[in-house]
Amino acid sequence: MLGKKLVTAQKRGETRALCLGLGMVACSMMMYFFIGITIVPFYTKSVWTTEALCKVLKANIEDKVLCPDSEGSEDEDVFSYPCLQVWVNLTASGQEVMLYQTEDTLERNPKCSYVPDKLENSKEVKARIETIASNFKKYHTFPCYYDPGGTQTNVILSRLYPPKGLLFAFLWPTLMFTGGCLIIVLVKISQYVSVLSAWQ
């Protein structure tokens, strides 16, 4: 009687562990799919792949500009902010080019090096842009990214999704997938050992 109860409890535990392993594998596959349709296209589309040194030539704050939040947006989606323009000397080619914060900055407003968040307060935006301009004037040389193919003549300060960030995004689903597979393998080994012991 006790033996039957132990066998029943063992089978329930194996079933639960097997469901856990399959659930972890399924969740990791969903995470892979989500990363593949969101982060990977932005990473592959970016042409600013080579790192170089940039030397600041000038950092000026121009008059306020209007920036629509998206194409075809309404008037309430348009906000104004001081336009910071940073020109640098790209040491790799010796050219004078304009610096942008990220790839997204160029798409949102190619006239300015920095595009603030629409939800920020106007005074905070002005203070932040002045701080950024002073930092560029203070630190003349810094690493930046440029397009080695020459399709884009400008440079960016940082990539939205660098290789390390992409690897970190794939780390958690990989760990979950490995853990799920390990649980499934251990359950199958346990079942095999139980069957072998019963046969003997």
- The per-residue pLDDT for range 32-41, each reduced to its tens digit, is 999 989 888 8
Q: Tens digits of per-residue pLDDT, 100-125?
A: 999 888 888 888 899 887 766 778 88
Least confident of 19-23, 64-68, 186-190: 64-68
Residues in the chain: 200
d(CA 91, CA 177): 44
> pLDDT tens for residues 150-192?
788 899 999 888 888 888 889 999 999 999 999 999 888 887 8
Q: Are 88 and 155 in contact (CB under 8 A)?
A: yes
Q: What is the pLDDT of residues 181-191, one digit of tens each?
A: 999 998 888 87
Instruction: Read off the pLDDT of each residue in 92-104 and give the average, rounded to a whole number.
Output: 89
By three-state DSSP, how is residue 184 classified? Answer: helix
Distance CA 56, CA 35 (A): 36
Distance of alpha carbon 129 from alpha carbon 81, whole angstroms: 9
* Predicted local confidence at residue 42, as pLDDT: 82
- Residue 150's CB: how many other CB atoms inside 10 A? 9
Instruction: Dump strand ranges (E) for 39-181.
Output: 50-68, 78-90, 95-100, 141-146, 155-156
Amino acid found at 9: A
3-state DSSP assignment of residue 140: coil
Rounded Cα distance, 162 and 43, in Å? 7
Q: Provide the pLDDT confidence category of residue 74 given band limits of 50, 70 and 90.
A: very low
Q: Is the pLDDT of residue 71 over 60?
A: no
| pLDDT exceeds cutoff 80 at 198 | no
pTM given for the model = 0.70
Q: Averaged over 78-92, what is the pLDDT? A: 84
pLDDT value at residue 73: 44
Amino acid at the residue 2: L
Question: Averaged over 7-19, what is the pLDDT?
Answer: 74
> Which of 74, 61, 64, 55 is CA-nearest to residue 142?
55
